[in-house]
Amino acid sequence: MLKVINVVGARPNFMKVAPIVQAMKRRKQEFAPLVLHTGQHYDAAMSEAFFRDLELPAPDEYLGVGSASHAAQTAAVMERFEPVLLRENPDWVIVVGDVNSTLACALVCSKLGVKVAHVEAGLRSRDRTMPEEINRILTDQVADLLFTPSADADQNLLAEGIPEERIRFVGNVMIDSLLKHLPRSNSSTIREELDLNEREYAVVTLHRPANVDTSDTFARVLGALEMIGRRLPVVFPVHPRTRKTLSELGLAERVAGSKSLRIIEPLAYLDFLRLYSGARLVLTDSGGIQEETTVLGIPCLTLRENTERPITVDQGTNTIVGTDPERIVREAMAVLDHGPTARHSIPPLWDGHTADRILEALMQS
């Protein structure tokens, strides 16, 4: 039997770990899973809501690191994770995605000689100003097994000198959660509460520092969203970090008084899934949403200059538009006038069975 610590740190991790833990619990003779929450995402109510919606068991370990600078947060996770690792002595540690907790726990495992597997390995934006890019690169260098979501991720790893025998193309575990919980999201009444009709509204998410930490960039993006809002309602669940910067940059009053934007509180997983799965258009700077909209066939405009998920552009419904207001509005109007592109297809192995392939690879390694 393999004892496995599954690490979660921030909300996007929950959707990736939940299917893996559930698959392990179905194979009780082969796996003994533990869930470790670093507390990098420190909103207790939202974390609890995501655990509940995703049917993820309460964490076996909670490190409670909270908010801090990148260096301080990474160091705190390492310091608090090490004694847990020594006490539990697992066969494997699974880290997912690209947050600080991912790198921190991978480094501790590497130092102590504990095998670590990285789920969602090999993604690259080619932008090293993004802290997530550094986390991805370094985690992949020290991980013993690298589980990739797409063929381009395999090629990235090989180009960086990662031995082929450490790489496993397993598909996208985020889609396991999406396909499992999409029918369950029908129980949500969020659209009715917001008086929204299916395919007659847009949804926007913004949280990356490059977009929300400077008044000039944030104001440009808001201007574009207000223009789009003249055509259809634009619903904006505001991330706690984004709400904080709105106030600090003097933009809160503008947003509150906007007739074009529908500002709402952050949503739990099922409510948010219900909301954006019915949208005509999604605008985001999130990575995971680029993948989910591709599978759902919803046009997505990515408010960044690059993406670590190019397959969503090459095969999916994603278009990179950056933060130039004219381009954002132009591409949005093209979608509203002409509908989704006909070239859309779902990438290979984005089929809801990635967790099972991950477990098979662990058993064989």
DSSP 7-20: EE-SHHHHHHHHHH
What pLDDT is recorded for position 342?
Answer: 64
Q: Do domains 2-172+350-364 and 184-338 have the same CATH topology?
A: yes
- Residues 174-183 have a mean pLDDT of 98
Q: Look at residue 168 and give its three-state secondary structure.
A: strand
Report pLDDT for 290: 97
pLDDT band at 226 (very low <50, low <70, confident <90, very high): very high
Helix 70-88 and helix 100-112, axial crossing angle in degrees, nearest 10: 40
Contacts of 264 (CB under 8 A, 6+ apart): 194, 235, 236, 237, 238
Stretch 151-162: mean pLDDT: 98
Tokens of 365: 């390694």
Q: Which residue did the predictor score with more confidence, 141 or 254?
A: 141
Band the pLDDT of 209: cuts 50, 70, 90: confident
pLDDT at 45: 67
By C-alpha distance, which of 19, 65, 72 is closest to 42?
65
The number of CA neighbours under 13 Å toward the Cβ of 353 is: 5
Domain ranges of the chain: 2-172+350-364, 184-338
pLDDT surpassing 80 at residue 41: no
Mapped onto helix, strand or coil, the DSSP state of residue 230 is coil
Element spanning 199, H or E: none
Predicted confidence (pLDDT) per residue in 284-335, tens digit: 999 999 999 999 999 999 999 999 999 999 999 999 999 999 999 999 999 9
pLDDT digits (tens, 9 = 90+) for 16-34: 999 999 999 999 999 999 9
For the cut 70, the answer to whether the pLDDT of residue 73 exceeds it is yes
Question: CB within 8 A of 298, min separation 6: which ones?
Answer: 276, 277, 279, 280, 281, 282, 317, 340
Active site residue 207: yes
Residue 127 predicted with pLDDT over 70: yes
pLDDT (0 to 100) of residue 255 = 83
326 vs 315: CA distance, rounded Å: 25
Of 361, 253, 341, give the one whose Cα is nearest residue 297.
341
* 351: DSSP letter: S
Distance CA 69, CA 46 (A): 21
Of 3.40.50.2000, 3.90.110.10, 3.40.50.280, 3.40.50.2300, which CATH number belongs to 2-172+350-364?
3.40.50.2000
Residue of 179, 182, 163, 210 whose CA lies nearest to 306:
210
CATH homologous superfamily, domain 184-338: Glycogen Phosphorylase B; (3.40.50.2000)
In sequence order, which residues have a C-beta less than 8 Å from that of residue 53 and are 6 or more positions away? 181, 268, 269, 270
Instruction: Choose the catalytic residue: 207, 239, 344, 353.
Output: 207
Q: What is the pLDDT of residue 341?
A: 66
